[in-house]
Amino acid sequence: MPSYAVYLLLNNSSFKMNEKIGWLIYALVFLNTCLLPVFATLVLKKLGFITSMQIEIQHERSTPYFISFIFFTSTWWLLSKAPLPPIVAQLMLGASIAILFTGFINLAMKISAHLVGVGGATGAFLVLGLDGFQDFSTYIIAGFFIAGCLGWARLQLNAHRPVEVYSGFLLGIFCQVMADKLS
């Protein structure tokens, strides 16, 4: 989830939000995109659906992705109903689409979810920049740098093949751009 992009957007001088509401939104996003998916994964491990929390086995990965998609989508829906700039819900929609596609693509290949996340964050900054919020070129460049480092690490660990790393990064960017076009 491009939460740092959301943070920058919500703290932009053109949009001021009540601090208590801001913390409530951050808590909602953290709960639904981090804590609840981790809890669901713990339950899946306890029930024997997955063998480890790292979910290294490809056929075990799609179920946690689809469960996370439910949490992400509910967060998008709640944000779309909140008195926030529409771009906030749009960024969450991009993350929801990305995790759904990741689950389906995983049925055929072990796409790098790490790079989907970095691609999503990079894509969020790209969309925010193109929509004229401010110049995010430094963050976009940093996203490519982080993606390169992370992709190299995933390849060195033999966790993925190059196509899985590249496609993960591009999927993350694509989903944010697609959400921007849908909104």
Which residues are within 8 A (CB) of 35 and not within 5 positions of it... i.e. 6 or more apart?
none
Cβ atoms of residues 99 and 69 within 8 Å: yes
Task: Dump pLDDT digits (tens) for 60-94.
Answer: 999 999 999 999 999 999 999 988 889 889 999 99
The stretch 119-138 carries a mean pLDDT of 91
In this prediction, residue 1 carries a pLDDT of: 43
How far is 129 from 140, CA to CA, in rounded Å?
9
pLDDT tens track for 86-108 = 988 999 999 999 999 999 999 99
Q: Are 124 and 2 in contact (CB under 8 A)?
A: yes
Is pTM beyond 0.85? Reply is yes
Cβ neighbours of 16 (radius 10 Å) = 10
CA 160 to chain CA centroid, Å, is 19
Token pair, residue 64, equals 């946690």
Quick one: average pLDDT of 112-138? 93
